[in-house]
Amino acid sequence: MTSILTFNAGMIDIRTLGIPVYRPLPRVSERLRRLPDALAALDADIVCLQELYQRRQQNWLRAELANRYPYAAGMPVGGVRLGSDLMVLSKYPITATRSLRFEVAMTEESLFTDRGFQLVDLELPGAGPIRLINLHASAGGLFRHPEGVAAAAIRTRQIDQVLQSVGEGPVILAGDFNAGSEASPVHYRTVLDAGYRDAFAAADGEGATWDPRNPLVAGGKEHHLQAQRIDHVFLNHAAAAKLRPADARIVLDGSPPLSDHFGVLVEFEANA
């Protein structure tokens, strides 16, 4: 059995001279301190994280979980830019990793971050080599509606770029797509039409990852959006031939909340 968790941790904490200038969610330090124990309790084999922009956040989390996850992939951050927000933790060997920046993103994302996706090659017991893509597609940025025309056009190009970059062989796509069967369904359908299978749905999982009942959603600027699952794990045909979704559930949904997103955990059995 192999399990994969994807979770948007919501740890944005932009500072100037140590003073917070943009922190959309409160209690960043307190939530970050609780994250290692929460991840350890789930004990997923592979963890895909988004919205960990700070180098210090990624380095600290790696150190806290090094005994459980000896392999990690994150995008280095340097200079004044925030870089990327993506990180993968794994119990299994990572044989190669590459980072790509989205060719198109929200203006503020392009100026101050390296919003993009990770290509991480892994060796899974019973399944062999598999490429994992950890991604975080744009929502609405600071000023736009996440399901508006401008945001949708940007997400279309981002998802197309990911699908064109995955390479050959077994591929797993995981992360925050800011799209699903309820929200921005055209982007969700694009992934399915490209030959991918929704592992959460295939395992009869139920629930939403973006939920107005979450206090961190209820207190935010997008509290009006309906409950929806916008965080996903997809398999292409080659990966589905090796791995069968056996169980799936919404996790990290307790109180007090860790993020404005809940997590998605999918367990796979190796096909004989």
By three-state DSSP, how is residue 251 classified?
A: strand
Q: Is-contact 235 193, C-beta < 8 A? A: no
Side by side, the strands of the sheet bearing 71-74 are 71-74, 87-90, 46-50, 2-8, 263-270, 243-251
Work out how many domains the chain is built from and give that number. Answer: 1
Range of the domain at 194: 2-270
| Alpha carbon distance 184, 174 (integer Å) | 17
Residue-level length of the chain: 272
End-to-end CA distance of the chain, in Å? Answer: 12
- What's the CATH code of the domain at 143? 3.60.10.10
The owner of tokens 């600027």 is 221
Query: What tens-digit pLDDT sequence spans the chain (272 residues)?
Result: 899 999 999 998 665 555 555 557 889 999 999 999 999 999 999 999 999 988 889 999 999 999 999 999 986 555 555 667 999 999 999 999 999 999 987 666 666 678 899 999 999 998 999 999 999 998 855 555 566 678 889 999 999 999 999 988 999 999 999 999 988 899 999 999 999 999 999 999 999 999 999 999 986 666 567 889 999 999 999 999 999 999 999 999 999 999 999 999 999 999 86
User: In Å, what is the CA distance from 14 to each residue of 9, 47, 101?
Assistant: 15, 24, 20
Q: Is-contact 228 176, C-beta < 8 A? A: no
